[in-house]
Structure 1
């Protein structure tokens, strides 16, 4: 890459961080750090955009470890438009991944399984698909919500999903932006079908790759006492971001707000969601399935699905 081109990219990134990053004092430090690295010649030998993206991302995250703050490389050129590049990228991805509904299944013993990946897409892109999956599962007696491969998504979709698990709207978090403006997020007051009964156990499966919106869904259900989280500690990214084009192949993602949970007074930024039951991500589904079957059989040994539940338990042993 030409030196003048690289300089322009770094200076634009520093300016955007200084103006938009959610924590103003940290923003100044990050922007100054990028300027120092530029003057030190840190980026002079970056041969192409992908290499520059890796170097800049390392420097952006070195100040406070915010994993949402990065210079992202795109192999194909970014579409020239005024919209947020993140939204532009998610629209075709939602269409080709069934709105993130990777798997919906009734397991033996009448235990439901819903796997949402790669993202919790915004409701306008995937609300119908996720609602259809939840409506199929509402008749199950326990639910495994698999977020091990979920890399983030929309707080509005989190609110929609949470609406299925609470009889009345509950306060999930308050989003604070840099200017001091706030927006409260509540679980959806209306869902298109019967809600999941409060007596039906819910297990959320997490892994080391669970990130951002996937972490929020796990955190919200855990803190509100509606689900047991099983698996590995998550990555620890709570700050929602916006995308800004910095080059035909480079997108700067800048965290612009921070959620505050009304119960904990904080969030999962930098620390991740700690599971209630820590287990290797690969083992989380079987362990949660076993726990669900045991609870269901203990509560009603003569339930109509008892025989298949016992057979499933034996197969898991």
Structure 2
């Protein structure tokens, strides 16, 4: 009976604790609130990027507590909201926010609670989709990306690449950040890198801890197609905040995009979430942004768009601007392509024993780097000069250039070998036919038998 009574007492105690600990609607004691304010003050003093402001904020909280200001708030939700208003009235930092935890059902520090939290977080993660809400191509070949947040780089990169691929062939891009509350600065940097060459200094973050500054530069490469010259538009609103503001400010100060919408929220101080107790947590800014061009940031003032329109008008207005910009981009691209190909054709007009090979390679390399000619197109160009124009030496130069620009292409070496055979250079021809067979074998190419037959015929001719 003693054991049973002990068990019953323990069970009753746990049930009582569970009911007390997990209820978000109980009245909060004066002692509880005092402990929360004490812990919150310590966290601010230890971590807030501006320690003098943290001290003033602490003094204000204690004065309000002494004046019984917080007595009227009887739930963690209302208490958290009141604390947020109080701290922001002193530091004017919209990042610093006290939050109540989700109303979990299971007791804390139990396997059941761990499972409950895990399921909750997995559900949020799936629904959030790394912040990528929608992507589509609008009328006029305008890419549209609705981005609701910048998740952690390691999680978001692969999704970013997938979404960016879907708009990689558009003639203008709209990135809608009107409902984006920010996120990871590394993810901001990665998405920015799609629209810049590598090595552009976008932003710096200074952190109080360690008195260190981290610089953020665009990457040389992304796992997708860079859109360095494509017209870019960013939609902003008063809900655009933190990392989303950095993206907008980066684009604005670098004169890379046109911003359309409303002035953003005005939060430039990065940080992290810290637990106060089991029910409450606080986001504390531990650093500040420093733009390399303006030497300041958007804290408290927001990012002001070049074109101000209401939230209802933002998308339509941006789409109109993007269509006009896309038309101009296509005209510019047409002129660029025309001049580039005229230059290429001029190099193919006549064969020069000394300069043709070098000039053709240089010109084709330039075309490849500009993204206007691919391996198969160079190959087709070579056959045009070999078969139609009967200019075997020019064709040979084209095919050779293709093998240099695409050294893994079995087809390129096979075509080069054919031109060499046409010119009577049997030894060099056979060498390149063998290279084609070697590459095709390593690649398990379905055309291997074709290359083998071509090599066999070349050997017989010799």
- Who wins on radius of gyration, i.e. which is larger? 2
SS at match of 2:144: strand
TM-score (norm 2): 0.61
Shift in Å at residue 291 of structure 1?
Answer: 1.2
Residue number among 57, 72, 75 corresponding to 1:48 in the alignment: 75
TM-score (norm 1): 0.88
Q: Which residue of 2 aligns with 1:147?
A: 177
Question: Could you list the per-position Cα deviations for residues 267-305 of structure 1 after superposition, in whole angstroms to 9, with x for gaps in the alignment?
Answer: 11000000011111221111111112123334557999x
Residue number among 276, 281, 285 corresponding to 2:311 in the alignment: 281
Q: Which residue of 2 aligns with 1:309?
A: none
Number of aligned pairs? 296
SS at match of 1:9: helix
Question: Could you list the per-position Cα deviations for residues 129-160 of structure 1 after superposition, in whole angstroms to 9, with x for gaps in the alignment?
Answer: 11111122111100000000101111111000
Do residues 99 (structure 1) and 126 (structure 2) align? no
In 2: Cα distance, 1:196 partner to 1:300 partner: 14
In 2: Cα distance, 1:213 partner to 1:79 partner: 32
Cα distance change of structure 1 residues 190 and 123 upon mapping to structure 2, 3 Å threshold: same
Structure 1 residue ranges without an equivalent (≥5): 82-87, 305-317
Shift in Å at residue 27 of structure 1?
Answer: 1.3
In 2: Cα distance, 1:267 partner to 1:8 partner: 35
Structure 2 residue ranges without an equivalent (≥5): 1-27, 111-118, 335-462
- The structure whose residues are more often strand, as a share, is 1
Contact 2:270 2:288 in 1 (8 A): yes
Cα distance change of structure 1 residues 61 and 89 upon mapping to structure 2, 3 Å threshold: farther
Cα distance change of structure 1 residues 211 and 38 upon mapping to structure 2, 3 Å threshold: same
- The structure whose residues are more often helix, as a share, is 2
After superposition, the CA RMSD in angstroms is 2.3
Contact 1:142 1:202 in 2 (8 A): yes
Do residues 21 (structure 1) and 48 (structure 2) align? yes
Question: Could you list the per-position Cα deviations for residues 95-114 of structure 1 after superposition, in whole angstroms to 9, with x for gaps in the alignment?
Answer: 32221111110112111000
Residue number among 78, 85, 100 corresponding to 1:73 in the alignment: 100
Q: Which moved more, 1:57-66 or 1:69-78?
A: 69-78
SS at match of 2:276: strand
Q: Which residue of 2 aligns with 1:262?
A: 292
In 2: Cα distance, 1:227 partner to 1:56 partner: 38
1:54-203 equivalences in 2 (<5 Å): 54-77=81-104, 93-117=124-148, 119-179=149-209, 180-198=211-229, 200-203=230-233
